[in-house]
Amino acid sequence: MKTIQTDKAPAAVGPYSQAKISGGFLFASGQVGINPAIGAIVDGGLEAQTEQVMANIAAVLEASGSSFDQVIKTTCFLADIADFKAFNEIYAKYFTSKPARSCVAVKDLPLGALVEVEIIAEV
């Protein structure tokens, strides 16, 4: 098992790693819209946060030697299900291979985030 850590994605905000590789798969922790350069959630609402989430996922994928096309499964969490359509429009630009997905609304997300996405990918 290998731990993935990159400065191009936010550091963990708790006792966990950004991702682990095991058995040829990458298991990535959920990413929220934290800009790693400033260590805070980006301004601009759901769209800006979703774009930052995708940048953070890209950084973890790159650090592991994987890519968006190798993502097998995503789990997506929204603070408000009314944001489902806007989230999907951005999500579709990145996950063009259409991995399996679950998407749910939750009561709260860490740091007041509006969106969180975790992934499983081949490496």
Residues carrying an active site annotation: 103
Non-local CB neighbours of 47 within 8 Å, separated by 6+ positions: 86, 90
Distances (CA, A) of 32 to 1, 53, 70, 75, 96: 24, 5, 20, 12, 20
Token pair, residue 52, equals 């930052």
Separation between Cα atoms, residue 112 and residue 40, nearest integer Å: 11
CA 108 to chain centroid, in Å, comes to 16
In eight-state DSSP terms, residue 99 is: -
SS3 56: helix
